[in-house]
Every structure is written in C-alpha cells, then in structure tokens.
Structure 1
C-alpha cells in the first residue's frame, strides 16, 4: 500500500470518487466517516482520523477531500505530514450559498484555506470551482476584524490544478442549494396549462425533507413516475434512460455529476447559464431565467420529438474515468516528498 485515502464525508459523489480510486489504483487504503452531519465532520474529523489511522511506513501519498481540515490532521499526526498531501475540492465554502451572508460560518472556509496552505497539490473538479475559490480568498478574509493575512491567493494558486470528477458511465443502450422551489414551480405551471409530461425526482436525502416536496408530489399526481432515492445504480440509470429531458435549477453547482450521467443516458440537458454549467454545456442547453426554462419545456411537451431525435452536441467522454484515469494515476503515483 502507498496511497492513504481519507474521506470525512463518505457519501454521494465523495464516496463515488474514493471507491473508484480504491478499486482502480493499486495500493490504496481508505478511511472514511459516514455522510451525516456535514458541519460536525468538517469541525472534528481530523481528531477522529488522528486516532483511527494506524502509523504505516509504506504510505507515500495522502489524498483527501476538502471537508477534512488537513492542517489539523498533519499537526496532530506529524508522520502523515511527511507524505505528499493532495487535497481534492468537490465544492468550496467561500462561495457556497447561504440564505444570508451573516449565516456564513467563517470557520469552514478558513479551514479550507489552511488545508490548501499545508497541501502539496490542490485539485479542483472544475475551473469554476478553482477560480471562485481563489478569487474569493481576499474578500473572504476581510471578515477578520484586523491583522489580516496577505497574499494567500498568490501562495496557493501555484499548487492548484483542475482535474474533472471522473464518471464511470454505465454500459447502456442509450437541498436549498439545488432550488427545488423553482423546479417545482415550473412543473406546476406546465400542469396548469394541461401540457402532457411525466417527471421523476431522484436524489439522496441527508436531512429533513421540506414540506414542499410532499405537497408537490401530491399535486402532480399521476404525472409522477418516480419520486425519491433509488439505492440501485442500475435502477437509477434505467430511470434516466426512459427520460427525455434532465433539468437543473441549482443555485450552486461546482461540477454536476448527475447532469452528465443523465446526458450519457440520452437526456436533453437544461441548465442555468451560470455556475459550472457554461464550462460543460454549450449555449443551446443553457437558460438565463425561469421564463426561458418554462418556454423551452412548454415547447418540448407539445413537440417531444424535438428532444427524442436530438443528438447531444458536446463531448462527455472527456469526463469519463477512461479519459481521466491516466491523470489520476499520475497524481497518486508520484514520488514522495524529498525535502523531509
């Protein structure tokens, strides 16, 4: 073994990446915490891993997601601090949306900045994620009342690179941050206009489900094909394969695994003209306002053959594990640090 994988929030796309690396790259050992109570994982995971990861002279590389406070861990475990430390950002806390800016907990973003400073390599799943983080550091640190640190973007940026999240596409024949309110509002307007459609609402739930979900499900009635989490990946992909359109109304997205999986399964994507989406999808698949989204969906409901005959204009193969395998292997098979 030579690669120590650490995931403080072992669920969703975080779990998907770690499982893929462990399975595909020889010499990986994985330690994780269940994907619950995200805030407490960010606050205390380093202390947990300090006690649960046994010392091992064979480790050469430490790979962790940015949920972990890497600075705390390497201070508590100097033996791990000697490894080449790679930090992977699925999302960043400097621009992660909150209802009001006063609600933003300074500590989470601060922890990520500290983690970047002690890491040897900092990897982001998109250019949007990287630039939104780096260019927000100075503004974010202005929350400190005085004696603010300087030039941290200049120190961190040379360590940074973009490496898209690797998706293992299937073998087929073909929360407030996701803004469900806007999505459901669009569906209800389609229903009011008596336009024919069916919908599947898929996704994992980590906390309490808002009343909006259950109320909308009842209102949509027979238009609902499936509602809720599908534990079987095969069932999940089969549901995508019978769909025509996949919609995002996200207020935050740093990559968008689910959207790309749906496109691979034959869905026509409709995404906001913001966040990471312009980096991945061409203008044809982007909308600027809810009104534009509604207009497109109305047209699709009246003329479903438009999307059923459509061939996606773009290269999603570049996001596949097959395409990205080499870069991840190079990242995780690098030589250990020689300055320690």
Structure 2
C-alpha cells in the first residue's frame, strides 16, 4: 500500500501523529509532505499552492493508493489543481475543526477556514474525527453555517458527511504507570500541562491558584506546557508574583524533565475552553495522574464523572476545582483512570482497517 500523507499545519501534535502512523505501520510505503505550523490564515488557504506548484509538485504526480490528509489541508482545492489526485481515494483526519474554536480578540472572523474544512470533508471519501465531540461540533457548526447562507444551498450536505464519518482517536504512547499512593494530609501536587494560549483557560487557572493561596491549602502547582513569545496576562501575572503554592512555572527544556514532573504529580488539571481530545491530559493519566477536567468538550468521553467539575462562571468553576482538590488532599485520591484503549498498540489495527476498507 502506498499512501500520500499530508500535514498542512505541522505542529507538534500533528507531526507526532504522522510519525506514529509511519512507525507503527512500516509495511506501508509512506510519502509524507508537511508545511510549518505558522501563519495560520495563509497556510490554511495557501497549502494547495505550496504543494501543487512548489518543490513537491513531482511527488504529487506519482501513483498512490490512498491520500491521508490532516484537518488543515485544503483537499478540495489540491485535488482540483492536481487532477491526478482527484482519482485517488482520500481520507481526511480531523484533529480539530474550525467550527468549534472559541474566538479570541486577535482572531479574524472570516468563514474561510470553516469553508476549507467543509469542502475538504465533502471532497474526501472517508472522514475521521479524534473524538465524538469533534465530530458532533463539526456537523453542528457546518449545519449552522449552511443555514446562514442566502440561497442555492443543496440539501443533504451534512448527512453525506455524517454517513462517511467515523471516530478514531489519536493514539498515545503506551506507558505502565507506577502506583501513586496519596496519604491523607500529604501535599497534593497538581500539574497544568497545556499550551500557554487563551483557549486553554489561563484565567481560570490563575483563579484556582489564587484561591488555593488565599486558603493556605496544602496543594502545590506545576505549571508546564509549551509557552510562546506572547504570554497570556494571567500566566504573566503568575510568573511575576510566583505565589508560594507554585512549585514550578515554565516550559521544561528537556522532555525527560517534563516526564519526571508528571511522575511526581498526583493530579493533572484542565481549565480549557476547547479540547477536541485532550492528549496532554491522556498522556498524564497514562503516567498515573488523576485527571480533573470540565464537564464539557471531549472530556466526558473518557474522564469519569467523579473527576469532572461543574460548568458555570469562572468563580464557580474555580471554587468547584478547589473543593475537589481539597477533598482529594484530605481524603485520598480516586481510582486511577485506565487509558490503555488509547495506546498505539490498541488503536493501530483500527487505522489499518480504515485504510483497507476504503480501498476495498
């Protein structure tokens, strides 16, 4: 089998998924084309130009059995510019979708990214999503967009995408976690391990830290994750004030240091406004951390009810989070969450089946 693997916005998570597929399916002949994960507005519209008319244009003229494209690929335009690709079965894999992203002050309001997602899904013969939440929010968002359009919208568009869509999670590396025994009244270590961006809820994190500090609770925080040049104000304030309860704040220089921090933490916390699967949380859970996440987004698909906090205003959510942490610190942790079904060995067979089914 010969597969053209396309990653138009090759961030760490997309690249890791691509590399994982190639490593776990070595008998497939892979041709992997990627573009840097920067300049979002240009990349999501310009990737067909970069590939069809750029240095990789000869690669696209080869005979492939299957095209596998990530969610930022403008598949419809690429297949139009390279007629050879239009004859090859294509599969879209959505790590995320542009219909469910929360809007920031800096984000443009153009519907073009959503239309790229929509046209790509229509152009593909199979559409895969990493979670049920991702699939549902895509279909709902696309339906709302189509209802806003003034005229000449054909019927059955959403149904056609729904019928050829499946849910297949992004796998994570298998890990045998050491048992984490939490004695009553010991210091509880909580790690927050997300991108330092607005959609990961840094304001709620700060509210939680402030509440723990004001109550002098025996809880400490490790604030890790990938930081960028522009630091959200809430995280900047935590860096500057550095409350007593913060044991570490900043991106770890070495992956081994980050993994050690996970091993030394009892709880992994999410304050996200959006999450299509929750890889950072899953990876922490695989290393024995108890997840504490909002009762929304993709989290209810794998996080037990006892480890979800209620939605509401930021103050109410902060209070709910601190109440759970305080209870766990004083009375012991809940049972670890099994995530073996998300390991590469558990999922890779399903990927291969999807490839074979599409070619049959």
Same-fold call, TM cutoff 0.5: yes
Which moved further from structure 2: 292-301 or 27-36?
292-301
Any gaps of 5 or more consecutive residues in structure 2? 180-196, 312-316
2:247 is paired with a residue whose SS is strand
Matched, 1:94 2:99: yes
For residue 37 of structure 1, what is the aligned residue in structure 2?
39
* CA RMSD in angstroms, aligned pairs only: 2.2
- CA 1:28 to 1:171, structure 2 compared with 1: closer, same or farther past 3 Å? farther
- CA 1:226 to 1:56, structure 2 compared with 1: closer, same or farther past 3 Å? farther
Distance in 2 separating the partners of 1:119 and 1:233: 36
1:146 to 151, 167, 178: 151
For residue 71 of structure 1, what is the aligned residue in structure 2?
76
Q: Deviations over 1:289-311 (max 9, x none)?
A: 4121121123344x2x612xx43
Distance in 1 separating the partners of 2:278 and 2:48: 28
1:246 is paired with a residue whose SS is strand
Any gaps of 5 or more consecutive residues in structure 1? none
For residue 297 of structure 1, what is the aligned residue in structure 2?
325
Distance in 2 separating the partners of 1:186 and 1:161: 37
Distance in 2 separating the partners of 1:241 and 1:159: 40
Matches within 5 A, 1:309-324: 310-312=334-336, 314-324=337-347
Matches within 5 A, 1:151-230: 151-170=156-175, 173=178, 175-206=197-228, 208-230=230-252
Q: Deviations over 1:170-213 (max 9, x none)?
A: 46545221111001111111011112322122222356212321
Q: Deviations over 1:21-64 (max 9, x none)?
A: 12222311211112222222112111112122424534211111
Q: Tell whether the 8 Å contact from 2:126 to 2:358 is kept in structure 1 after alignment.
A: no
1:98 is paired with a residue whose SS is coil
Distance in 2 separating the partners of 1:157 and 1:233: 39
Q: CA deviation at 1:231?
A: 5.1
Distance in 1 separating the partners of 2:90 and 2:270: 34
Distance in 2 separating the partners of 1:207 and 1:15: 21
Provide the aligned length of Structure 1 versus Structure 2. 331
Task: Return the TM-score normalized by structure 1.
Answer: 0.90
Distance in 1 separating the partners of 2:229 and 2:93: 24
Task: Return the TM-score normalized by structure 2.
Answer: 0.85
